[in-house]
Protein backbone atom coordinates (compact mmCIF):
# COMPACT_ATOMS: atom_id res chain seq x y z
CA UNK A 1 0.00 0.00 0.00
CA UNK A 2 1.36 3.40 -1.01
CA UNK A 3 0.71 6.07 1.61
CA UNK A 4 0.61 9.87 1.65
CA UNK A 5 0.91 11.06 5.26
CA UNK A 6 -1.12 14.23 5.86
CA UNK A 7 0.52 17.40 7.15
CA UNK A 8 -0.83 17.06 10.72
CA UNK A 9 1.88 14.41 11.21
CA UNK A 10 5.58 15.23 11.31
CA UNK A 11 7.57 14.30 8.20
CA UNK A 12 9.67 11.89 10.28
CA UNK A 13 6.77 9.41 10.15
CA UNK A 14 7.01 9.01 6.36
CA UNK A 15 10.80 8.82 6.61
CA UNK A 16 10.64 6.08 9.25
CA UNK A 17 8.03 4.12 7.30
CA UNK A 18 10.32 4.26 4.23
CA UNK A 19 13.23 3.10 6.38
CA UNK A 20 11.12 0.07 7.26
CA UNK A 21 10.43 -0.71 3.62
CA UNK A 22 7.05 1.01 3.10
CA UNK A 23 6.20 3.30 0.20
CA UNK A 24 5.26 6.44 2.14
CA UNK A 25 5.60 10.13 1.49
CA UNK A 26 4.61 13.17 3.50
CA UNK A 27 2.49 16.13 2.42
CA UNK A 28 5.43 18.17 3.76
CA UNK A 29 7.54 16.73 0.91
CA UNK A 30 4.91 17.04 -1.85
CA UNK A 31 2.54 18.63 -2.65
CA UNK A 32 3.63 20.86 0.26
CA UNK A 33 2.39 22.09 3.60
CA UNK A 34 -0.66 24.34 3.40
CA UNK A 35 -1.97 22.71 0.22
CA UNK A 36 -5.76 22.53 0.06
CA UNK A 37 -7.24 19.14 0.96
CA UNK A 38 -8.75 18.76 -2.51
CA UNK A 39 -5.30 19.23 -4.06
CA UNK A 40 -3.69 16.84 -1.59
CA UNK A 41 -6.33 14.23 -2.44
CA UNK A 42 -5.79 14.79 -6.19
CA UNK A 43 -2.03 14.42 -5.69
CA UNK A 44 -2.55 11.17 -3.77
CA UNK A 45 -4.88 9.87 -6.49
CA UNK A 46 -2.37 10.72 -9.24
CA UNK A 47 0.28 8.67 -7.44
CA UNK A 48 -2.06 5.86 -6.37
CA UNK A 49 -1.57 6.63 -2.68
CA UNK A 50 -3.97 6.26 0.25
CA UNK A 51 -4.14 9.40 2.38
CA UNK A 52 -3.38 8.89 6.08
CA UNK A 53 -5.21 11.60 8.03
CA UNK A 54 -7.26 12.49 11.08
CA UNK A 55 -9.31 14.83 8.90
CA UNK A 56 -12.43 12.73 8.34
CA UNK A 57 -14.63 15.82 8.09
CA UNK A 58 -12.93 17.06 4.90
CA UNK A 59 -11.69 13.89 3.20
CA UNK A 60 -14.74 11.69 3.54
CA UNK A 61 -16.98 14.02 1.46
CA UNK A 62 -14.23 14.25 -1.17
CA UNK A 63 -14.08 10.47 -1.41
CA UNK A 64 -17.85 10.12 -1.47
CA UNK A 65 -18.15 12.68 -4.28
CA UNK A 66 -15.60 10.78 -6.35
CA UNK A 67 -17.38 7.49 -5.86
CA UNK A 68 -20.77 9.06 -6.67
CA UNK A 69 -19.27 10.36 -9.92
CA UNK A 70 -18.07 6.85 -10.78
CA UNK A 71 -14.42 7.66 -10.08
CA UNK A 72 -12.13 6.13 -7.48
CA UNK A 73 -9.10 6.59 -5.29
CA UNK A 74 -6.47 4.46 -3.55
CA UNK A 75 -8.07 4.77 -0.12
CA UNK A 76 -8.18 6.74 3.08
CA UNK A 77 -6.63 5.70 6.39
CA UNK A 78 -8.45 7.58 9.14
CA UNK A 79 -6.50 7.74 12.38
CA UNK A 80 -7.21 9.31 15.72
CA UNK A 81 -5.39 9.97 18.94
CA UNK A 82 -8.57 9.41 20.93
CA UNK A 83 -8.34 6.79 23.69
CA UNK A 84 -11.40 4.86 22.50
CA UNK A 85 -9.85 3.99 19.16
CA UNK A 86 -6.63 2.95 20.84
CA UNK A 87 -8.53 0.64 23.20
CA UNK A 88 -10.43 -0.95 20.31
CA UNK A 89 -7.20 -2.21 18.84
CA UNK A 90 -5.04 -2.44 21.94
CA UNK A 91 -3.33 -5.68 20.88
CA UNK A 92 -2.28 -4.38 17.46
CA UNK A 93 -1.07 -1.08 18.86
CA UNK A 94 0.81 -2.83 21.65
CA UNK A 95 2.69 -4.99 19.12
CA UNK A 96 3.54 -1.95 17.05
CA UNK A 97 4.71 0.01 20.08
CA UNK A 98 7.00 -2.88 20.97
CA UNK A 99 8.77 -2.50 17.61
CA UNK A 100 12.03 -0.61 17.33
CA UNK A 101 10.61 2.89 17.34
CA UNK A 102 12.68 4.06 20.29
CA UNK A 103 15.00 5.88 17.88
CA UNK A 104 12.21 8.04 16.42
CA UNK A 105 12.10 11.63 17.65
CA UNK A 106 9.78 12.58 20.48
CA UNK A 107 7.27 10.44 22.34
CA UNK A 108 4.45 12.06 20.35
CA UNK A 109 6.16 11.18 17.06
CA UNK A 110 6.62 7.58 18.23
CA UNK A 111 2.94 7.41 19.18
CA UNK A 112 1.87 8.80 15.80
CA UNK A 113 4.12 6.35 13.98
CA UNK A 114 2.72 3.45 16.01
CA UNK A 115 -0.86 4.51 15.28
CA UNK A 116 -0.26 4.87 11.56
CA UNK A 117 1.68 1.66 11.17
CA UNK A 118 -0.85 -0.19 13.30
CA UNK A 119 -3.77 1.08 11.23
CA UNK A 120 -2.14 0.61 7.87
CA UNK A 121 -0.57 -2.79 8.42
CA UNK A 122 -2.95 -4.60 10.75
CA UNK A 123 -6.35 -3.52 9.46
CA UNK A 124 -7.21 -2.91 13.11
CA UNK A 125 -10.50 -1.11 12.59
CA UNK A 126 -9.04 2.30 11.88
CA UNK A 127 -8.25 1.42 8.29
CA UNK A 128 -11.24 2.42 6.21
CA UNK A 129 -11.36 2.14 2.48
CA UNK A 130 -14.18 4.20 1.01
The domain ranges of the chain are 3-128
| HSE-CB of 15 using CA atoms within 13 angstroms | 11
The answer to whether 10 touches 44, Cβ cutoff 8 Å, is no
**Has this prediction a pTM greater than 0.85?**
no
For the stretch 2-17, pLDDT in tens is: 999 999 888 888 988 8
> Rounded distance, CA 32 to CA 6, Å?
10
37-47 and 56-68 helices, crossing angle to 10°: 60
In this predicted structure, the answer to whether residue 53 has a pLDDT above a threshold of 60 is yes
C-alpha distances out from residue 38 to 59, 82, 128, Å: 8, 25, 19
For the stretch 14-33, pLDDT in tens is: 988 888 888 999 999 999 99
Amino acid sequence: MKLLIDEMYPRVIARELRARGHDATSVHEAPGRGTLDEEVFDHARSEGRAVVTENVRDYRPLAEALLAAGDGHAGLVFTTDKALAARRSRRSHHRVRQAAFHDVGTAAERRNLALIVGAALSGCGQLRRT
